[in-house]
Amino acid sequence: MENEIYSDLSQKNLKNQRTNQAVAAAAELFMKNGIEEVKMTDIADASNVGVATLYRYFGTKPRIVTEVMTYLWDNINELFSGVFDSHEFLSQTGIKQLSDLMRMFHVLYSAHGDFMRLVAEFDRYSIREQIPKEELREYEQSVINFNPVVERAYRHGLEDGTVREVEDFGLFFLSYSHALLELCKKFVGGEVLPSDDFSHADMELQMLIDTAIHYLENK
């Protein structure tokens, strides 16, 4: 009995190790080449995990793509969490914390453009492949992982008097985060219309952030 339990644990650990290898390798390939250009055989070669094993663990390419995008968002969240949990950040007023949090989208555009481009591609990919919404729950949670930090900053601002009360703050932040994220994806996608001029992309993003902060500020 003990040997069987040990064997089961070993098999589970091996599966986790191979799954992590495959996701990490696929993430590098997607970031470099995009989702469409990468085949399951490419992931197998890069991760040293057999194609048959990949299909056994993930089932389909859309499934591994979703796990990769969740993994990449988790990495982005981890990069920012160290900043937003720091003493320097937490010692600021609520309105300043909210301003810094909004600027997160500006940083995503300026420092993580390749990732934003991949996020835009994943949106199109998930629609085309008709990935069921229930299979995107973990991905969604990784994307909106900043909500608790933003809510904390808002409550702090109410307490220190720098932020005015908003009837539905959750809806307010959702609206602006959607607008900022879509603007980032538009900019990294490149100019399309004759009137497009993305040389002012930084200013456009900052203007939208300033508008949100001006609305929130308790004057």
Type of residue numbered 104: M
pLDDT at 120: 95
- Map tokens 């990069």 to a residue: 79
Task: Give the DSSP letter string of 17-82.
Answer: HHHHHHHHHHHHHHHHH-STT--HHHHHHHHT--HHHHHHHHSSHHHHHHHHHHHHHHHHHHHHHH
Q: Which residues of the chain have pLDDT under 50?
A: 2, 5-7, 9
Distance CA 125, CA 160 (A): 44
121, 36 contact by CB (below 8 A): yes
Distance CA 68, CA 64 (A): 6
Q: Where are the domains of the chain?
A: 1-59, 61-216
pLDDT at 53: 92
pLDDT at 219: 87
Domains 1-59 and 61-216 are alike in CATH topology: no
pLDDT tens across 116-153, in order? Answer: 999 999 999 999 999 999 999 999 988 877 888 999 99
13, 51 contact by CB (below 8 A): no
Distance CA 70, CA 138 (A): 7
Across the chain, mean pLDDT equals 91
pLDDT at 145: 75
Could you tell me how far CA 205 lies from the centroid of its own chain?
18
Query: In CATH, which superfamily holds the domain spanning 1-59?
Result: Homeodomain-like (1.10.10.60)
The CATH number for 61-216, chosen from 1.10.260, 1.10.3470, 2.40.128, 1.10.357, is: 1.10.357
Give the contacts of 205 (CB within 8 A, at least 6 positions apart).
105, 106, 109, 180, 183, 184, 187
pLDDT at 171: 94
Say what the pTM is. 0.85
* CA 207 vs CA 100, 107, 193, 213: distances in Å: 14, 14, 22, 10
Structure tokens at 168: 């539905």
Type of residue numbered 34: G
